[in-house]
Structure 1
Amino acid sequence: MFEQVFFLASINDKKIIRWLYERYHKIFLKYINEQLNFKFYTLEIEANDLKTIIYEIFLKIFQVTRIKSLNQFIGFVKRQIYFYLVYLLRKSLSNKNLVNHLNNNNFENYELISTNSDEVGAELNNRFLIYEFLRSIQKENLFLYHFTILIIKGYNTKEISEILKINSAKIYYYKALLKKYIKKLL
């Protein structure tokens, strides 16, 4: 049955593609949700965007490849979703976006920054030191880097354990490891 469905979809039959989308999009929404919670948690994507992404991937897959089985179809869609999330992550981390993000975050509230140039210089120096510290952690231990980012964002230990899928003992281990890095820096 699926061979005929995939054949009709490959000749760009929109009704069949829509039927496949309606029937299987929940599987891929769950997959995207898992990926966003585990690997791509820095991305901020809305639910309507996800549905659009999945439908566009369906169209793209049937234009490019001949699919013969349901497992092959699910595998292709998951791979394309993963590549798309990597693309979005790279796009969000580009230098231009990073500079815009830093400008928006650091200088959004002008009343927080003192007019005294010494205080401004000290604040910028502190931000630079934090940035360098995070960069050094990222080079040495990528998991600790993600853990540190979550702490900086204000997550509590329960939320961190759910996001990173680790138990509380590991959280306390990473907290101790982070303290060692900070002491080594000072």
Structure 2
Amino acid sequence: MEAIVFYAFAALAVGSALLVVGLKNTARALFLFFVTLFAMAGLFIFALADFVAITQIMVYVGGVLILMLFAFMLSNKTLLEDLQNMSGKFLALPNWQALLLSLAFCVVLVYGINEWQPITADWINDNIRQGQVIQPSDNNINQLGIKFMTQYILPFEVISIFLLMALIGAAHLSRKEEQQ
């Protein structure tokens, strides 16, 4: 059952990410980006990275994506129409530049996969021998909730104020000035 849910999250993440890149409609692409970030948080939970999953949901889904939605809603409509008309072709960059960037990224990725050596660090081996390994049955959510609401409450409030300042700045920049 876990494998089915994992592959469902993986397919959802990859499929929605491909649609984000391929759609011309910016509003739909932003909502699919929302789905992609949630699916990635689900994959982080399967990797026993509870902290990263919760941080992804709180910061990226809760903050950055909402900021992007507001910036989209407050942006200049003619600028968005120009961007959508420009991206109607197969590649927005000139074809040779986009192909060169894609091939370079693919070469680096294949080289990294071929050169990867599964060597485990000494401190990891020591923890495995001592039995200090996170098990799938361990509950870290309780501890994370306590940390977020006590020790890390100030950094999250500061981040929320910065996001609010960015939202106010986006609203100010998108406001039309009166012609005199």
Q: TM-score, with normalisation over the residues of structure 2?
A: 0.23
Hey, which of these two has a bigger chunk of helix by percent?
1
Q: TM-score, with normalisation over the residues of structure 1?
A: 0.22
Larger RCO of the pair (alpha carbons < 8 Å, separation 6+): 2
